[in-house]
Amino acid sequence: MSETCPPEPLSSNPIVVMAPRVRPFLGSLASCAFHVRDEAAFEADAAIDAIVHDLDVLRGRRPEDKGPLFCLVRDMEPGKPFQIMRAAGLSLLQDQGPTVARIDDAEGWIAGLQRHLDPACAIVVREYLNPDAPGLDLFWVILPEAAACSLDCRDDGQDRQIRISMEGSRNGVAT
């Protein structure tokens, strides 16, 4: 087994092994496009201001959009605007793997995004080279009421998903 992947659970209880704490958005990343509830409140939030100072927060608008779309990137090209709606985000949250650990949101970035995210949207972020998860790729799913992060481990050619949920999780989905 790879040193970077946590061991398999020893029982049938799916919440046995604790993966490492992971801080969000420390590596190279790109998110899908997302709408916010109130653009002025989004831009005035201290947590969002911290994100803006650490990441590139891109803004754009398609003709059919009701307001601007935002996208988070660092050291990557954003690509074409791709939006994940709430139902798809919920499905992605439910498809997370069985091993649970904690998201370290000490900076309040996840909570800030949750506060302002349009309830009809989800944010999906693909992150690489996060120092809290060396050798692993992270897949973040953020909804206004929940957030999770999967670590993609490579072990003998087999991919395993490890769900990381925020403190205060309920039924395996972070609140």
* Confidence at residue 102, expressed as pLDDT on a 0 to 100 scale: 67
Local confidence band at 97 (pLDDT 50, 70, 90 cut-offs): low
**Cα–Cα distance for residue pair 159/175, rounded to 1 Å:** 27
Nearest Cα residue to 58 out of 76, 40, 44: 76
Q: What is the mean pLDDT of residues 106-126?
A: 96
Give whole-number Cα distances, 1 to 8, 73, 131, 158, 160, in Å: 10, 32, 20, 11, 12
pLDDT number for residue 89? 93
Task: Report d(CA 44, CA 56) in Å as an integer.
Answer: 16
Q: Is the pLDDT of residue 112 over 50?
A: yes
The three-state (H, E, C) secondary structure of 34-75, written as one string: ECECCHHHHHHCHHHHHHHHHCEEEEECCCCCCCCEEEEEEC
Q: Which of 104, 75, 99 minimizes the C-alpha distance to 151?
A: 99
pLDDT of residue 153: 62
pLDDT of amino acid 139: 87
Domain boundaries, the chain: 28-166
Q: Residue 68 in contact with residue 34, Cβ under 8 Å? A: no
pTM for the structure as a whole: 0.76
Q: Which of 65-69, 134-138, 156-160 has the highest mean pLDDT?
A: 65-69
Strand pairing category for 121-128 and 84-85: antiparallel
State the DSSP string of 78-143: --S--BEEHHHHHHHHHT--SEEEEE--TT-HHHHHHHHB-TTEEEEEEEE--TTSTT-EEEEEEE
The predicted structure's pLDDT at residue 125: 93
- Binned at pLDDT 50, 70 and 90, residue 93 comes out as confident
If one compares 77 and 31, the residue with the highest pLDDT of the two is 31
Structure tokens at 74: 């660092």
Q: What confidence score (pLDDT) does residue 19 get?
A: 62
Q: What is the pLDDT of residue 167?
A: 33
115 backbone φψ class: left, alpha, beta (φ>0; ψ -120 to 50): alpha
What's the mean pLDDT in 39-52?
A: 96
Q: Are 113 and 146 in contact (CB under 8 A)?
A: no
pLDDT at 151: 78
Bridge-based pairing of strands 146-155 and 158-166 is antiparallel
What does pLDDT average to over the chain? 78
pLDDT of residue 16: 35
Q: How confident is the model over 146-159, as a mean pLDDT?
A: 64
Q: Is the pLDDT of residue 137 over 60?
A: yes
